[in-house]
Amino acid sequence: MTNEMQTKTEMLYNQAVSSIKQGNFPHGVLVECQNSNVGEEFARFIANALVCTGDNKPCSVCPDCIKAQGKGHPDIYETDGIKGKSKNFTVDAIRLIRDDAFVVPNESDKKIYILKNGHNMNEQAQNAILKILEEPPSYVYFIIVTESKSTMLETVLSRVQVYSLLSNENAATDKELNAVKNIVEALLNVNELALMEQTAVFQKNNQFAKSVLILLTEVFRDALVKKNGFIREFRFADETNILCKSLTAKSLLNLISACDELIASIDRNCNNNLLLVRVCYEFKRAIGR
C-alpha cells in the first residue's frame, strides 16, 4: 500500500470512528474497494466500533470487542448472499435479512449486517434491500462491500454513505480505456471482425482482459442507470449515452451478466483462446445478434 493510500485509509477509519462516537453514523454504508479482503476488513472494523462499549472505539478489551474481533459476536452478521448453485447475491438472501432485521439484537444495542460481494447483487436484490434501507429499525446498520459503487443502482447509492478505498493505482490505463471504447463501437456496429481484432489482445493477457471487462461492466451498468431515468456524471459519458439509446434494458442486463461470467472464467484460469471466442459469442448473444 502506498503512503498516499495508507493516509487515505487511516483518514476514513478516523472519520468512521468520529461519526460513531457522535452518534450520527448512517444506517446504510457502502464500502468500495477492488480488494475484497481489504474492503471486508474495513467493514468489520466499522461493525466492531459500532458494538464497542469502550471510550476509544474499538477498544479491543470490552466483551463486545473481543467477540467481534473473534468473529463470534451474535449481533454482527456476514453473508455473501449465495445460495445453492447461484453465483449472485440472491434476492431470497436479502428477504431473509430483511425479515431478521426486525428481530431485536441479542447482546448489543445494535445489529449489523455486512453484505459481502455487493457487486454480485442483481437489480431485483438491490431493490429488495432498498426497502429496508429507506426505513431501517433504529438499531440496524447495513454495510455493503463492493468492488465498485458503479455496480449499485442510483436509488441504493442515494441512501448510503460511500467509503471509497480506491487508490490512484486502480485508475484505468489509456490502453484499457481505448479498448473499452473500441469494443463498444464494434459491438454497436455489429462488426464481428472489429470485435475480434479489439479483443485479440485478451489471448496474451488475462489480467488485461479482466480489467477491461470490469470497465465494460461499469459502462453497461451506467447505461442501464441512465435508461432508468437517473442522471449523474459518468466516466464513459459518450459510450453510456449511445448504449442507452441503442440497446434495450434487457440487452444491457444480458451484457452485464456476460461480463460477470467472463470475469469468473478468467478467475478459473480458462484457456486464452477460448476466452477470445467466448467474449465475441457472449456479447453478440447478449444483444440478440
DSSP letter for each residue of 86-121: --SB-HHHHHHHHHHTTSPPSSSS-EEEEE--GGGB
pLDDT in the model for residue 230: 64
For residue 122, give the C-alpha cell. Answer: 442483481
pLDDT level of residue 83 (50, 70, 90 thresholds): low
Q: How far apart are CA 29 and CA 196, in angstroms?
A: 40
Per the CB < 8 A criterion, the answer to whether 262 and 213 are in contact is yes
Per the CB < 8 A criterion, the answer to whether 149 and 162 are in contact is yes
Rg (CA), the chain: 20
pLDDT in the model for residue 284: 75
Which residues touch 18 (CB under 8 Å, ≥6 apart)?
A: none
pLDDT in the model for residue 4: 54
Alpha helices (runs of H) in 147-248, residue ranges in sequence order: 154-157, 174-188, 192-199, 206-227, 237-246
**Crossing angle of the two packed helices 249-267 and 206-227, in degrees rounded to 10:** 160
Of the listed ranges 57-71, 213-227, 267-281, the least confidently predicted one is 267-281
Burial class (CB in 10 A: 0-12, 13-18, 19+), 189: exposed
pLDDT tens, residue by residue, 92-114? 889 999 999 999 999 999 999 99
Per the CB < 8 A criterion, the answer to whether 96 and 70 are in contact is no
Q: How far apart are CA 129 and CA 133, in angstroms?
A: 6
Q: Which of 64-78, 148-162, 169-183 has the highest mean pLDDT?
A: 64-78
pLDDT in the model for residue 136: 92
Q: How far apart are CA 42 and CA 58, in angstroms?
A: 12
pLDDT level of residue 48 (50, 70, 90 thresholds): very high
pLDDT in the model for residue 108: 95
Residue burial 230-266, b: 16+ Cβ < 10 Å; e: rest? eeeebebeebbeebbeebeeebbbbbbbbbbebbebb
Per the CB < 8 A criterion, the answer to whether 210 and 177 are in contact is no
How many other C-beta atoms lie within 10 A of the C-beta of residue 23?
6
pLDDT in the model for residue 150: 78
Mean pLDDT in residue range 187-205: 76
pLDDT in the model for residue 232: 61
pLDDT tens, residue by residue, 131-151? 899 899 999 999 999 988 878
Helix (H) and strand (E) counts in the chain: 12, 5
pLDDT tens, residue by residue, 67-76? 999 999 999 9
pLDDT in the model for residue 164: 86
pLDDT in the model for residue 114: 97
For residue 278, give the C-alpha cell. Answer: 467466448
Q: What is the mean pLDDT of the chain?
A: 84
Between 56 and 83, the more confident residue is 56
For residue 22, give the C-alpha cell. Answer: 457522535
